[in-house]
Amino acid sequence: MSIANLMPWVLAALLTLVLGGGGIYLLGHRVHAAQTPSMQDNRAVDSVSPEMQRITGVNTVPIAAAARDLLADLTPEQQVELLQVVDSPQWHVWSNFHRSSNRLGLRLGNLSNDARQRVFGLLNVALSAQGMKMTRDIMRLNRVLGELVGNTKELNEDEYYLMIFGVPSESLPWGFQLEGHHLVINYFVLGNQVAMSPTFWGSEPTSTPYGITLPTGYQNLVVLEREREQARAFIESLNPVQQHKARLDASPGILTGAGNDDANVPEAGLSGREMSASQRSLLLRMITAFVGNVHADQSRIDIERISQRIEDTWFTFTVRSDGRIFYRTVSPEVLIEFDEVPGVFSKENHVHAVVRRPNGMDYGKSLLEQHLRRHQH
């Protein structure tokens, strides 16, 4: 959308709200000149209801501040590219492919170095240390893949896009989405509550290949190999009867990837009730490897909830003839699908993993709906 097509007063109002941390968030469609919202179309609240807001101990103030710092560093045109309304359907239009015609938002490759660092600053306070490292290493390995196949024009660290939904705030609902090849993070914030889901983590290759000349900083990269080895260790801990029950008969594949928000994933295979205490511990370690990518305080809360339902967690897997594994864990708190897939661009290791939060926590949907019911105008 051209900046010339946006009414100047609409842009000014948006920027005042965002940079000033004001008390309005827009609902409906993306703001175009032809569909400028009236104040009656918006909903305004000053604070989150104490009854609705669970006390989690997560300090989201630095996350909102980092998002506002980023906005302040951008041109007006970039700010318009970045912003979406908080309930935009664009939340659901993500892809892990290296190219997508549906991508909106700010392309990292179009940012100044300062603005780019602001993006990483936002991610740094939103993610745990392990989540930040995985995010950066996936992006770096995408550049390694480009070097490996001679296509750094499309496979690089620049082809990642960021969108902010709503107004970054300490009390009002908002969030952001980072999207690109092998990396998707949907991050919803409401007061001291965080829902980071769905996420996609992947890479081809999963480590820097030997014998390839690369710029400084791209050597010795490794992602998702710890997660794979933890899965193998868990599978090997199962006795023959347990393995038989957990093994998938049908051809495996990820059911909950891009475009499959409403996938029906059955509770099947081997349940936590049928595992020993040590096996349940190994299963929880596998889950923690992914759930631990969110802000450290939130991950501790999430892991505690998951551990309380570990007996209600189901596990299925398969080991293909060439040794590649697939597994799925399903519980009331988290769903993880991990798949070693054939190389697309190369013969290197290639892994996809999707993490979702059931019961309406994808995109923070249930939190937003509860909030809106309490503050209807």
User: Are 335 and 261 in the same domain?
Assistant: yes
User: Are 247 and 325 in the same domain?
Assistant: yes
Q: Name the pLDDT band for 1 (thresholds 50, 70, 90).
A: very low
Range of the domain at 296: 225-358
Q: Taking Cα atoms as reference points, which of 187, 104, 203, 225 lies closest to residue 144?
A: 203
Res 51 pLDDT > 80: no
Residue 212: what pLDDT? 87
User: Are 346 and 368 in the same domain?
Assistant: no
Q: Name the pLDDT band for 56 (thresholds 50, 70, 90).
A: low
pLDDT digits (tens, 9 = 90+) for 294-312: 999 999 999 999 999 999 9
User: In this structure, is residue 214 part of a structural domain?
Assistant: no
pLDDT digits (tens, 9 = 90+) for 167-185: 999 999 999 999 999 999 9
pLDDT digits (tens, 9 = 90+) for 202-244: 999 999 998 888 988 899 999 999 999 999 999 999 999 999 9
pLDDT digits (tens, 9 = 90+) for 80-105: 999 999 999 999 999 999 886 778 99
User: Are 192 and 339 in the same domain?
Assistant: no
User: Are 60 and 185 in the same domain?
Assistant: yes
Average pLDDT over residues 358-367: 91
CA dist 218 and 149 (Å) reads 15
User: Are 351 and 369 in the same domain?
Assistant: no
User: Are 257 and 143 in the same domain?
Assistant: no
What does the DSSP 8-state code read for residue 304? Answer: H
CA dist 291 and 158 (Å) reads 26
CA distances from 376 to 174, 368, 373 (A): 17, 12, 6
Q: Tokens for 218?
A: 């791209």
CA dist 35 and 38 (Å) reads 9
CA dist 63 and 65 (Å) reads 5
Average pLDDT over residues 354-375: 91
Which percentage of the chain shows pLDDT scores above 90?
73
pTM: 0.88
Count of CB atoms situated within 10 Å of the CB of 57 = 10
User: Are 129 and 194 in the same domain?
Assistant: yes
Res 113 pLDDT > 70: yes
